[in-house]
C-alpha cells in the first residue's frame, strides 16, 4: 500500500517547530482541501480565550475529517492564521495528540484580523486520500 511520507532533509536546518519540511503524497491520491476551521462551538458561539478557540478548532477539524472518512493521518499540509501569539505549549499538546510525531507540513502567520472580529485562530487542512 502506498502511503504519505514526511521528511526533513539532513542538508538543511531542522524545522523550528513540530512539522515536516516535506510531505510527499503518492501518485493517484485524492486531494481534499478544507476551508479554514475556527473556534466556534456547536451553537456558533466563539469563546473569548485563544486556547478555548484552539480546543474548539481541533474538535471541528476532527469532525470535518471524520465526515469525509479521513483521519489525522490524511493531513499533508496545515495553514494556520492567528491574531495573537499562540500559546505553543497548549497548542502542541493538541497537535501532538493528533499527529504523534508524524507531522504534516505547516505554515503559520500572525495577522491583524480574521473574517469575524472575535476569531483569534483559523486552521486550513490539506489532505490526501489514499486507496
Rounded Cα distance, 29 and 45, in Å:
36
Q: pLDDT confidence of 3, banded at 50, 70, 90?
A: confident
Cα-only R_g, the chain: 15
Spell out the domain ranges in the chain: 1-6+42-131
- Closest to 39 (Cα-Cα) out of 100, 86, 97: 86
Rounded Cα distance, 39 and 30, in Å:
27
Helix (H) or strand (E) holding 7: strand 5-7
Which whole-number Å values give the CA distances from 19 to 44, 78, 93, 128, 129, in the listed order? 30, 9, 14, 17, 20
* Mean pLDDT across 99-122: 95
In the three-class reduction of DSSP (H, G, I as helix; E, B as strand; rest coil), residue 53 is classed as: helix
- Report pTM: 0.88
Per-residue pLDDT tens digits for 19-77 = 899 988 888 889 999 999 999 999 999 999 999 999 999 999 999 999 999 999 999 99
Instruction: Give me the CATH code for the 1-6+42-131 domain, please.
Output: 3.30.1330.40
Amino acid at each position: 500500500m502506498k502511503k504519505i511520507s514526511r521528511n526533513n532533509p539532513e542538508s538543511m536546518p531542522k524545522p523550528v517547530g513540530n512539522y515536516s519540511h516535506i510531505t510527499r503524497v503518492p501518485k493517484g491520491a485524492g486531494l481534499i482541501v478544507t476551508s479554514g476551521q475556527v473556534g466556534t462551538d456547536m451553537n456558533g458561539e466563539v469563546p473569548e480565550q485563544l486556547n478555548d478557540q484552539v480546543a474548539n478548532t481541533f474538535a471541528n477539524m476532527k469532525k470535518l475529517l471524520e465526515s469525509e472518512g479521513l483521519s489525522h493521518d490524511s493531513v499533508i499540509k496545515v495553514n494556520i492564521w492567528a491574531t495573537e501569539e499562540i500559546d505553543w505549549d497548549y497548542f502542541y499538546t493538541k497537535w501532538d495528540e493528533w499527529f504523534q510525531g508524524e507531522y504534516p507540513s505547516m505554515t503559520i502567520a500572525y495577522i491583524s484580523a480574521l473574517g469575524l472580529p472575535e476569531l483569534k485562530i483559523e486552521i486550513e487542512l490539506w489532505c490526501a486520500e489514499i486507496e
